[in-house]
Amino acid sequence: MNAPTAAVPADPFKGSLWPRVAALALIVYVIYAGAQLEVSWARIETGLENAAKFFSRLFPPNFSRHDLLVKGLLESLQIAVLASTLGIVLALPIGLCAARNLMPAWVTWPARLIIVASRSFHPVIVAILFVKAVGFGALAGTLALTVASIGFIGKLFTEAIEEISLKQVEAVRATGASFSSVLAFGVLPQVFSRFIGFSTYQLDSNLRNSTMVGIVGAGGIGGTLFAAFQRFDYDFVCAILLSIIGLIMLGEVLATGVRAIFIENATLADLFRRGSAMRRVRHSEDD
């Protein structure tokens, strides 16, 4: 008796004409766009030479004007924290209203329009508009990053709500609970961990953007950086760039701690123990 032959699985990468046509069209367009933008190897070589001269003038960094540096960094930090807080607080109801599995169409469409409008422009462009509206300073930067936070958090929060399981929501509704109770016990537990991740990422993003909106006069360290470039004060530029990197790294450490506290229910003592354990592991690897 012959053994039954195993069924041959279908080819998961079955060839198709249209993906190949699309790939070929993309390659052709990339070549065309490069030619239109005058991208050439000669320009790249010239750029590399200029970059080498520029980087040679950056070092060693000059931290002598540390008072100006610290003032700009603190202002950027304040802009980022304030804009993130305002943006998250405003994005929560907007994102909820935009969720199509919980709200009727006449509520979701205006909310989605707000989210799309908030995401349509780069924060620097929005900062220029607010500088024209409220004048130079940190207020314009805070408002610009608040708008950016509404667009980012609102979109992701909406998508997270639309992906929840409605069984838990219906179970809470079956008890006769109010709409606020449905949100608190049926929706929030399913999206809470993702929302914390969204919020910490937005704070990290606002820390980066707060150093950039100052270039157009919206406060923060960006204005100091732009002024240093204009004065060809490249050693101070290097000090500013290194300080910005340090600020972003500090924000990443804080974001990791916040995620551990809210998602893993860790305490401050747990965080310190983790840090001590990691240091012991590094020392043992070095030995």
Going by C-alpha positions, the residue among 128, 129, 133, 151 that lies closest to residue 214 is 128
Q: 100 near 162, Cβ under 8 Å?
A: yes
Report if residue 215 sits inside a domain.
Answer: yes
Report if residue 30 sits inside a domain.
Answer: no
pLDDT of residue 277: 58
pLDDT of residue 285: 56
Q: Which residues of 201-236 are buried (b: 16+ CB within 10 A; e: fewer)?
A: ebbbbbbebbbbbbbbbbbbbbbbbbbbeeeebbeb
pLDDT tens, residue by residue, 180-197: 787 788 887 788 878 888
Report if residue 2 sits inside a domain.
Answer: no
Report if residue 27 sits inside a domain.
Answer: no
pLDDT score of 29 more than 80: yes
- In eight-state DSSP terms, residue 3 is P
Query: What rounded mean pLDDT belongs to the chain?
Result: 81
**Can you tell me the mean pLDDT for 8-18?**
62
Report if residue 41 sits inside a domain.
Answer: no
Report if residue 273 sits inside a domain.
Answer: no
3-state secondary structure 38-104: CCCHHHHHHHHHHHHHHHHHHCCCCCCCHHHHHHHHHHHHHHHHHHHHHHHHHHHHHHHHHCCCCCC
Better pLDDT: 89 or 47: 89
pLDDT of residue 146: 92
Report if residue 107 sits inside a domain.
Answer: yes
DSSP 243-257: HHHHHHHHHHHHHHH
Domain count, the chain: 1
| Backbone phi, psi, residue 32, to 5° | -65, -45
- Residue 113 pLDDT class (50, 70, 90 cuts): very high
pLDDT score of 287 more than 60: no
Residues sharing a CB contact under 8 Å with residue 106, sequence separation 6 or more, in sequence order: none
Residues sharing a CB contact under 8 Å with residue 211, sequence separation 6 or more, in sequence order: 76, 220, 221, 222, 225, 244, 247
Q: What is the pTM of this model?
A: 0.76
Residue 155, domain extent: 66-266
Specify the CATH number for the domain of residue 124. Answer: 1.10.3720.10
Task: State the sign of the Cα–Cα–Cα–Cα dihedral 57, 60, 63, 69.
Answer: positive
Report if residue 39 sits inside a domain.
Answer: no
| Residue 219 zone, left/alpha/beta (φ > 0; ψ -120 to 50; rest) | left
